A and B are shown apart, each in its own frame.
Chain A
Amino acid sequence: MAGAPSLGEFEQVVLLAILRLGENAYGVTIGAEITACTGREPAPGALYTTLERMEDKGLISSRLGDPTPQRGGRAKRYFILNSKGLAAITRAQQSYRRLLEGCELPGLNYA
């Protein structure tokens, strides 16, 4: 996993949301998943800029779905994690876990 790029907090949140959603990860569902899990609604500017940046960095890739009338005839762009993205999020979460080991937080036990 050496060489995996370091991730910012919001990048990790977006990658985890994509991972949770599996095949149904596109802009609307990613935003909704982040809101449901964190209680914070992501700003559209931050979400789409992060998705574009991570795609350019090769952390995620996208494919276009079929156009739907509900969206004014525009296709959904579905995102999936690439191996590079998976390596980066794994490394980031391992670092968090190591930091949490031995810490006592209310409602959490990582000892």
Chain B
Amino acid sequence: MHRTHIAEWILGLVTSRDRAASTVGDLVEEASPRGVVWFWSGILRIAASLLWRGVAENPLRLAGVAFIGLAVDVLASLLVATLSGLVFFFAARSGHQLQGNSVWWTIGLDAPTLFLSLWIGRMLARWAPGGELSACLAYGILGSLFSLVMMFVAPGGLGNSALIRVFLSDLLQRTPVLAGAVWGRHRTLAAR
């Protein structure tokens, strides 16, 4: 059954491969009378529970790892913003008119941001071997808290819609970080 391999892959992200295999085996055994929905909700609940266990058992260590990741993120974002500002400045001085909303400009800004997020995810995984995705979760929580604090420190259209916008954009920005952490997890497993 193809679906069980996906389930095993999901659990393998948060626990050892043999534990993931035996757990999926247990759920397959119980799933025949209970159905597919029960099987997948079981897989997701176990994965979430194991993921949170990683954060709950090493909160200080993972907070430290997440803080370093966030500091790198903020510094690199400032660097990208400064560089793009310089490009605009020199282009304006030499008489060129740059289109800030052009496709190439968007790609030029988004590509380094995407690469940076992937790299941060990879670094989080390297700094927290065995708890790669828990480190990513800690980074996500700390990043969201940081965004909220920044909203109150420098309010720009503070309100429910702004809060939702910040939450959604944070979620989108964290996706490449998660991909980087998953990549790091696979590297850890391959090295064993």
CB of A76 within 8 A of CB of B18, answer: no
How would residues 47 to 79 of chain B score, 1 for a CB under 8 Å from any chain A CB and 0 otherwise? 011100100010000000000000000000000
Contact call B48/A75, Cβ cutoff below 8 A: no
A45 CB contact (under 8 Å) in B21, B26, B45? B45
Do residues A76 and B45 form an inter-chain contact, with CB atoms below 8 A? no
Cα separation A48 to B30 with both chains bound (whole Å):
14
Contact A49/B53 with A28-B29, A43-B45, A72-B1 known, Cβ cut-off 8 Å:
yes
Number of B residues contacting the other chain (C-beta, 8 Å)? Answer: 23
Q: Is the CB of B46 within 8 A of A45?
A: yes
A28-B29, A28-B30, A70-B29 known; A75-B49 Cβ under 8 A: no
Interface residues of B in 4-49 (CB under 8 A from A): 4, 15, 18-19, 21-30, 42, 45-46, 48-49
Report A18 CB to chain B, min CB distance, Å. Answer: 14
Judge whether B50 and A76 touch: CB under 8 Å. no
Docked complex Cα distance between A14 and B84 (Å): 58
Interface of B (DSSP majority class)? helix
Known A-B contacts A53-B53, A76-B22; the reply to A44 vs B27 at CB < 8 A is: yes
Report how far A70 CA is from B29 CA in the complex, Å: 6
B48 with A72: CB separation less than 8 A: no
Q: Give which listed residue, B22, B26, B46, B48, contacts A64 with CB less than 8 A.
A: B22
Q: Is the CB of A49 within 8 A of B29?
A: no
User: Which residues of B are found within 8 Å of A53, using beta-carbon distances?
Assistant: 53, 57
Contact across chains for A74 and B25 when beta carbons are under 8 A apart: yes
When chains A and B are docked, how far (Å) is the Cα of A67 from the Cα of B24? 12
**Which A residues touch B15, using CB under 8 A?**
52
Pick the contact of B25 from A49, A52, A76 — CB < 8 Å? A76
Chain B CB within 10 Å — which of A43, A53, A67, A74 has the most?
A74
Docked-complex contact B21 and A74, CB < 8 angstroms: yes
Contacts of A91 in B (CB 8 A): none
Contacts of A74 in B (CB 8 A): 4, 21-22, 24-25, 28
Point out residues on B near A: beta carbons under 8 Å.
1, 4, 15, 18-19, 21-30, 42, 45-46, 48-50, 53, 57
Give 24 pairs: A residue, B residue, CB < 8 Å, sorted on A: A43-B45, A44-B27, A44-B42, A45-B42, A45-B45, A45-B49, A48-B23, A48-B49, A48-B50, A49-B53, A53-B53, A64-B22, A68-B25, A70-B28, A70-B29, A71-B28, A71-B29, A72-B4, A72-B24, A74-B21, A75-B21, A75-B25, A76-B22, A76-B26
